[in-house]
Chains A and B, each alone.
Chain A
Amino acid sequence: MVRKGFEKELRKLEDSVIEMAETAKKSIDTSVESLKKKDVKLAKETIALEKEMDKNSLDIENRCMRLTALQQPVAKDLRFIASMLKISDTLERVGDYAGKIAKITIKTKDKPLAKPLIDIPKMAELSKEMIDIDIEAIRSKKVEGIEEKLTQRDDVIDNLYEQIYKELLMMMFERPQIISDATDLIFVGRYLERIGDLACKVANRTIYMVDGRRTLIK
């Protein structure tokens, strides 16, 4: 593969990773929406997205391995390929968490929610915003201020999770019959909190890709 071909492959790799990030956002949306509306169709759509992301992650891994073997990249090319590999793996995990939320929807489809969803959609919105920040940084190769932007949002997500956890715990003390449903919602909160952490991991990799700095946001 001549140099131009290599450049083209790198761009295609970036496009695929950004597409995965968009799919991750969509899966967060459909999973939480499916739970909110107890919509099994949306839940199944989320699970299909999860499978699509598994496939895409494997495809990206194969392409990264091939480029590494054939092009023996160094410096920014090496950092780019290594970062794409790790980012796609991280996004695939976002898909897994969204899939877990969708499975809770399917499991509890005939039961009402233990409580109305107020904070959980907020957490979903924030985590999508975080992935948007990641996407912009990957595209523009500009990472100034990304740590602050993500930390700020991740802190809000963490606090919301803490709040949901305490609230549901209190509800479980008061109404033991909702323990199972409330536990499911605690899990949903936990999954979204983890998605926030994963968005930070994507940013860590993006910073490394852009300027070689090793950071640990959160």
Chain B
Amino acid sequence: MTSIKIKNLNAYYGEKQVLKEINLDIGEKRVTAIIGPSGCGKSTLLRCINRMNDFIDIFRAEGEIDIDDKDIMQMDPVLLRKQVGMVFQKPNPFPKTIFENVAWGPKIHGTKDKSTLNKIVNNSLKQAALWDEVKGRLKDNALGLSGGQQQRLCIARALAVSPEVILLDEPCSALDPVSTAKIEDLIVALKKHYTIVIVTHNMQQAARVSDNTAFLLNGDLIEYSDTDTLFETPKDKRTEDYITGRFG
């Protein structure tokens, strides 16, 4: 399985430095939460892991991110993003059928055989805990699903290309408590097979689902430890002030 090592990572948008000397070891088959106030660099850090920031002209990064000891800067970004799936804040299904949404990734990576695609779609929807709700209507338009179902569909879409790492950027911020609970259960279930990194503003969510938590502030990694310790006895006063709501 897959561990991620981030070494001396510095990131910039133009002149502005948004990540400063980040060193982070993300354990395999664990859920790692990244928390911090708005603008602290947590989403930028997450997007560095699958080089999503490459699409931004003014963005540049220094340092190294190794996935399974391979420097991601040396990898083909398309293959990297197959290995490192991502789910965004707002569910973003394609305006196509539920089946096509999930089959899309495997298809562009070369899977043409219909029975193989069927199997992948079934398995992915099952893993994303959505199968029972959509099995009778795979040909319906995905936009007809509820917000929570759409987000689980996006997770199924990410799983369909057999990634090793899943990045979740505020996956529940647009969802109601019931849908949030389903996604959280799903995250905990998925860590048996995947390395998961989640960015969340919801402190309780980080506490509920993650094994490790990193606290970022103004681009600095202030504290990184197991989640229990960070939420019970944080070492740094800035972490304590943030998680207890005294700033941020």
Q: Show the binding face of A for B, using Cβ within 8 Å.
A: 3, 6, 72-79, 211-212
Contact = CB atoms under 8 A, between A and B. Distances in A.
A72 B233 CA distance: 15
B244 A76 contact: yes
Nearest to B230: A75
B61 interface: no
Interface residues of B, number: 13
Contacts of B232: 74-75, 78-79, 212
Contacts of A3: 245-246
A75 B245 contact: no
A78 B229 CA distance: 12
Contacts of A76: 240, 244
13 contacts: A72-B203, A72-B204, A74-B203, A74-B232, A75-B231, A75-B232, A75-B244, A76-B240, A76-B244, A77-B244, A78-B232, A79-B233, A211-B233
B234 A75 contact: yes
B223 to A, nearest CB: 11
Contacts, number: 30
B138 interface: no
A42 B1 CA distance: 72
B243 interface: yes
Nearest to A214: B233
B207 A74 contact: yes
A74 B229 CA distance: 11
Contacts of A6: 245
Nearest to B240: A75
Nearest to A3: B245
A73 B204 CA distance: 9
Interface centre among A3, A6, A74, A76, by most chain B C-beta atoms within 10 angstroms, is: A74
B226 to A, nearest CB: 14
A212 B240 CA distance: 12
B204 A75 contact: no
A155 B95 CA distance: 76
A5 B246 CA distance: 12
B202 to A, nearest CB: 10
B246 A212 contact: no
Contacts of A212: 232-233
Contacts of A211: 233
B243 A74 contact: yes
Contacts of B243: 74-75
Interface centre among B207, B231, B232, B239, by most chain A C-beta atoms within 10 angstroms, is: B232
B231 A74 contact: yes
A84 B247 CA distance: 24
Nearest to B203: A74
Interface in B195-248: 203-204, 207, 231-234, 239-240, 243-246
A211 B235 CA distance: 10
Contacts of B231: 74-75, 78
A81 to B, nearest CB: 11
Given A3-B245, A3-B246, A75 B233 contact: yes
A73 B239 CA distance: 14
A73 B233 contact: no
